[in-house]
């Protein structure tokens, strides 16, 4: 009996104490906050176990409606020795998460948080004092709580409707953006501040933080993507330890876009960042960078939505060729591999990009790919879509391209001569007809003997084709006569 009583007493002592649900949790005590992980089926959520310093970033379990938020004095009214403490207290206010879709709900508390964020931005930007490591940790944690969230479903997701043309879709504007913009501004000011020591900051702006930052590029709000582009570019420039990781992360986003989804809102912004990165590549270029060109950038010509990011993609491709002219053959053959067959709009884009690449191409590399290249150009010259044919003829307005053609006219003239003659004889568009005449005259002035030789071969080929056509028609006529005579013989046999 005594042992049973002792056992009950021990059990009671081991039961954990009840907690008050209205108790405020200080932002500096991350370990005491409850971890609430929010996922959305329509977007790829970041694993809750991948967080800075290998620990979860908890969402505060304090309900903002049950907390009295009081505004704190500005930094200028606080003694210098107390500013770090007041900074921490302001971060605690900014860590409260409100429903920003409903502007009327908790309007006073939201305004206090907004003004507090503005004060933090001003303090970090002014460089009034170095921020301690503890404050930096809490600052990054507060920013993470606000920006790393579940994005709403994209316009093409979970609707059951046919996917629309991305170029025709209206941009989405997040109603919470006026509030979120201040948090992004604070992060940017912290990253670019001369008082931010990278040796300390890299403990909190770590690979996990960068990974989730990259994940936010799928946001449909163009204002958020623009801020993300600027911040990631600054992180790439300041934190050298993150450079390979950022390039690999962008690479993986491109792979998923090309081979799986073909839908991503931030491809253009990521390519803009890459444009600056490629411009800074040292020579000789690493094999890793060349593989990135072949495996990621060139296949980006495949998706139908290329019009949304082609300008940035073309800049990156041209940067590679300008950095290393030996890559011109690889790039041109890559363009030919993904050349559109039925999309005339894409063909016009490809022709524009091809001109930029050829502008940076040397004669030795040009000779490696000129035969398949001008076979494709000949097909474009005869396109029934006047914009494709016209854009192809504009290539002869580029002096460098004309120089390359002139040096290799013995190979190029015979390939495209027939296409030019067909345009002169039968193309329906007068502008294309006139431009073709100009190019033809240019060839005549460049090498009259070669022109006459090509013309002689064309006339001979045309005559042979006409003779073969006539022979084919005669053969069919004879077959029809034989068939008719066989039918007549069969009918006579049945009659008798």
pLDDT at residue 98 in the model: 86
DSSP 8-class letter at 101: T
What does 387-427 look like in DSSP terms, one character per residue?
A: HHHHHHHGGGG-HHHHHHHHHTHHHHHHHHHHHHHHHHHH-
Instruction: Say if CB 153 and CB 195 are below 8 A apart.
Output: no
Buried b (16+ CB within 10 A) or exposed e, 210-234: bbbbbbbbbbbbebbbebbbbbbbe
Instruction: Say if CB 102 and CB 167 are below 8 A apart.
Output: no
Preceding peptide of 284 cis, ω within 30°: yes
Domain range for 450 is 388-489
Token pair belonging to 356:
């930029």
pLDDT at residue 223 in the model: 95
220 — phi, psi (to 5°)? -85, -5
Query: C-alpha angle with apex 402: 400 to 406, nearest 5 degrees?
Result: 120
Token pair belonging to 177:
């953006």
Determine, yes or no, domain membership for 353: no
Instruction: Say if CB 151 and CB 198 are below 8 A apart.
Output: no
What value does the mean pLDDT of the chain take?
Answer: 84
Short-list 93, 148, 145, 137, CA closest to 118: 93
Q: Tens digit of pLDDT for each residue in 148-168?
A: 998 877 665 655 555 566 666
pLDDT at residue 72 in the model: 87
Determine, yes or no, domain membership for 272: no
Q: Tens digit of pLDDT for each residue in 274-318?
A: 999 999 999 999 999 999 999 999 999 999 999 999 999 999 999
CATH code where residue 77 lies: 1.25.10.10
In angstroms, the CA 131 to CA 116 distance is 17
Is residue 271's pLDDT more than 90? Answer: yes
In angstroms, the CA 360 to CA 202 distance is 39
In angstroms, the CA 134 to CA 29 distance is 11
344 — phi, psi (to 5°)? -70, -35
Question: Domain total for the chain?
Answer: 2
Residue at token pair 């799928």 = 218
Token pair belonging to 247:
């390039």
Token pair belonging to 490:
């069969």
First to last CA, the chain: 125
Instruction: Say if CB 400 and CB 365 are below 8 A apart.
Output: no
pLDDT at residue 131 in the model: 84
In angstroms, the CA 436 to CA 440 distance is 6
Determine, yes or no, domain membership for 377: no
Determine, yes or no, domain membership for 281: no
Token pair belonging to 5:
């009583």
Determine, yes or no, domain membership for 269: no
Determine, yes or no, domain membership for 248: no
Short-list 359, 445, 437, 369, CA closest to 403: 359
Determine, yes or no, domain membership for 444: yes
pLDDT at residue 359 in the model: 95
This prediction's pTM: 0.80
Is residue 4's pLDDT more than 60? Answer: no
Q: Tens digit of pLDDT for each residue in 169-203?
A: 778 888 889 889 999 999 999 999 988 999 999 99
Q: Tens digit of pLDDT for each residue in 321-362?
A: 999 999 999 999 999 999 999 999 999 999 999 999 999 999
According to the 3-state scheme, what is the secondary structure of 424-474?
HHHCCCHHHHHHHHHHHHHHHHHCHHHHHHHHHHHHHHHHHHHHHHHHHHH
Q: Tens digit of pLDDT for each residue in 398-429?
A: 999 999 999 999 999 999 999 999 999 999 99
- How remote is the C-alpha of 84 from its chain's centroid? 40
In angstroms, the CA 361 to CA 369 distance is 11
Determine, yes or no, domain membership for 440: yes
Is residue 34's pLDDT more than 80? Answer: no
- The mean-pLDDT minimum among 79-88, 219-228, 366-375 falls in 79-88
In angstroms, the CA 61 to CA 25 distance is 8
pLDDT at residue 164 in the model: 60
pLDDT at residue 20 in the model: 37
pLDDT at residue 107 in the model: 82
């Amino acid at each position: 009996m005594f042992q049973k009583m002792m056992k009950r007493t021990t059990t009671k002592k081991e039961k954990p104490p009840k907690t008050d649900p209205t108790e405020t949790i200080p932002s500096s005590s991350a370990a005491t906050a409850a971890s609430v992980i929010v996922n959305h089926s329509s977007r790829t959520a970041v694993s809750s176990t991948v967080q800075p310093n290998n620990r979860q970033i908890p969402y505060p379990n304090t309900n903002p409606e049950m907390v009295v938020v009081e505004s704190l004095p500005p930094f200028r009214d606080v003694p210098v020795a107390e500013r770090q403490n007041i900074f921490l207290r302001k971060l605690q206010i900014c860590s409260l998460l409100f429903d920003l879709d409903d502007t009327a709900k908790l309007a006073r508390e939201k305004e206090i948080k907004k003004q507090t964020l503005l004060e933090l931005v001003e303090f970090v930007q002014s460089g009034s004092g170095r921020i301690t490591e503890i404050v930096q940790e809490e600052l990054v944690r507060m920013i993470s709580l606000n920006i790393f969230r579940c994005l709403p479903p994209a316009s093409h997701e979970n609707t059951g409707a046919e996917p629309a043309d991305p170029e025709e879709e209206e941009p989405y504007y997040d109603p919470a953006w006026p509030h979120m913009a201040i948090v992004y501004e604070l992060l940017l000011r912290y990253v670019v501040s001369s008082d931010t020591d990278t040796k300390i900051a890299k403990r909190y702006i770590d690979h996990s933080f960068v990974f989730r930052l990259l994940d936010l590029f799928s946001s449909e709000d163009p204002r958020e993507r623009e801020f993300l582009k600027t911040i990631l570019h600054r992180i790439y420039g300041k934190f050298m330890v993150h450079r390979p990781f950022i390039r690999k992360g962008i690479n993986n986003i491109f792979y998923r876009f090309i081979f799986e989804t073909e839908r991503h809102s931030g491809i253009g912004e990521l390519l803009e960042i890459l444009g600056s990165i490629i411009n800074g590549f040292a020579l000789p270029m690493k094999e890793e960078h060349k593989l990135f060109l072949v495996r990621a950038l060139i296949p980006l010509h495949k998706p139908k939505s290329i019009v949304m990011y082609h300008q940035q993609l073309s800049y990156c491709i041209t940067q590679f060729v300008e950095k290393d002219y030996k890559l011109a053959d690889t790039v041109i053959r890559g363009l030919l591999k993904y050349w559109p067959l039925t999309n005339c709009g894409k063909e016009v884009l490809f022709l524009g990009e091809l001109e930029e690449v050829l502008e940076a191409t040397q004669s030795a590399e040009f000779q490696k790919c000129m035969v398949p290249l001008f076979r494709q150009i000949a097909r474009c010259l005869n396109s029934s879509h006047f914009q494709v044919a016209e854009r192809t003829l504009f290539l002869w307005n580029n002096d460098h391209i004309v120089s390359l053609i002139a040096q290799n006219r013995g190979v190029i003239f015979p390939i495209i001569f027939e296409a030019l003659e067909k345009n002169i004889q039968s193309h329906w568009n007068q502008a294309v007809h006139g431009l073709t005449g100009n190019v033809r005259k240019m060839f005549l002035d460049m090498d009259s003997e070669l022109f006459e030789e090509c013309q002689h071969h064309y006339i001979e080929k045309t005559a042979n084709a006409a003779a073969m056509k006539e022979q084919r028609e005669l053969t069919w006529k004879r077959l029809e006569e034989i068939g008719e005579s066989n039918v007549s013989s069969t009918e006579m046999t049945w009659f008798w």
